[in-house]
Amino acid sequence: MKAINHMKVEFQSKSANEGFARSTAAAFAAQLDPTLDELGDIKTAVSEAVTNAIVHAYPDTIGKITLKARLYPDHSMELTVRDWGRGIDNIDKAREPLYTTGGEERSGMGFTIMESFTDKLKVKSTPGRGTTVTMRRRFSTRAGQA
Amino acid sequence: MKTRAYYKDGLLTIRFDGELDHHSAKPAVRAIEEGIDTHLPKNLILDFNGLSFMDSSGIAVVLKAFRRMNELEGTVSVENVPAQPQKVLDMAGLGRLIKIAAGVKEV
């Protein structure tokens, strides 16, 4: 399926950009006329992916993060959050609920939330090279929409 | 995000306004710890009425408050929780540990 629109933004791995990233994703998603609940899901999933990159990919440095979004004619959206940081040694372990290497400041629920707030989650990572998280979410079609 | 603390007769209420994420979690934890250390309350209410967004960082913040109040043998409840933060709290099953009251009230 060919995307009907796409966007890409690049920003530094600073925590102040977490709000920027999720608001940008939600603003772009608005073209598909999602419900308020669906927008909340997108914001939450993006916030988790971007926070992971900031906290885990670049623990002691400031690095580059990109957020890409594609909109499809079936009212679905694909979101890609990519970093060029440390990478994840064991993806299965990282995706387990409550597992975290972030100490008591983190809850270990990031991937679990991304998984349940979207329809599909794919994680690709190479230690030392970076991580790409791809999420797909289909929105409901409401009365009056094609 | 802004926090405001009110204390009366053993009850400490901390109101949250804005977005609670990894960026704002540290100041939020500091506000909770300061409030608890100053007043040593019996009960703590985290009032989420003005919380427009929360991600999993908020789970760690609520758990921190729970642990601290447990040490004082006090209670914690989360009140006036909007739909989006409620969904995140539900993911962590926090309702099993802490009283959580959903639904925003008009201010």
Query: How does pLDDT run across B59-71, given as a tens digit for each residue?
Result: 999 999 999 999 9
State pLDDT tens for residues B27-53: 999 999 999 999 999 999 999 999 999
Query: Residue A105: which H helix or E strand, with range?
Result: none
What is the identity of the amino acid at A98? L
Q: Which residues of A are less than 8 Å from B23 in CB distance?
A: 15-16, 18-19
Name the closest residue on chain A to residue B58, using Cα atoms. A107
Name the nearest CA neighbour of B103 among B76, B77, B84. B84
Task: Tell me the two tokens of residue B15.
Answer: 């109101």
Map tokens 């079936």 to a residue.
A74
Strands (E), chain A: 5-12, 64-72, 76-83, 120-126, 130-138
Amino acid letter, A50: V
Query: Which residue in B30, B82, B77, B26 sits closest to B53, CA to CA?
Result: B82
Residue whose structure tokens are 């995140």: B88
Could you give the angle at which helices A36-52 and A110-117 cross, rounded to 10 degrees? 150
Range of the domain at A89: 5-138
Average pLDDT score, chain A = 95
Residue type, A5: N
Overall domain count for chain A: 1
Residue A108 lies in a domain: yes
State the smallest CA–CA distance between residue B86 and chain A in angstroms.
11
Closest Cα in chain B, distance from residue A80 (Å): 18
Q: Which residue, A41, A39, A51, is CA-closest to A15?
A: A51
Give me the CATH number covering residue A103: 3.30.565.10
Rounded (5°) CA angle A91-A119-A47: 65
Q: What's the CA gap between B101 and A70, in Å, rounded?
A: 37
Q: What is the domain partition of chain B in residue ranges?
A: 2-102
Residues of A with catalytic function: 48, 52, 106
Test B55 with A105 for CB contact under 8 angstroms: no
Question: For domain B2-102, which CATH number applies: 3.30.750.24, 3.90.1150.10, 1.10.287.90, 3.40.630.30?
Answer: 3.30.750.24
Chain A CB within 8 Å of residue B26 CB: yes
* Percent helix, strand and coil across chain B, each to the nearest 5: 45, 35, 20
Q: Is the pLDDT of residue B104 over 90?
A: no
Q: Is B25 on the interface with A (CB under 8 A)?
A: yes
Separation between Cα atoms, residue A15 and residue A25, nearest integer Å? 16
pLDDT in tens, A74-98: 999 999 999 999 999 999 999 998 8
Residue with tokens 């440095």: A61
ipTM of model: 0.93
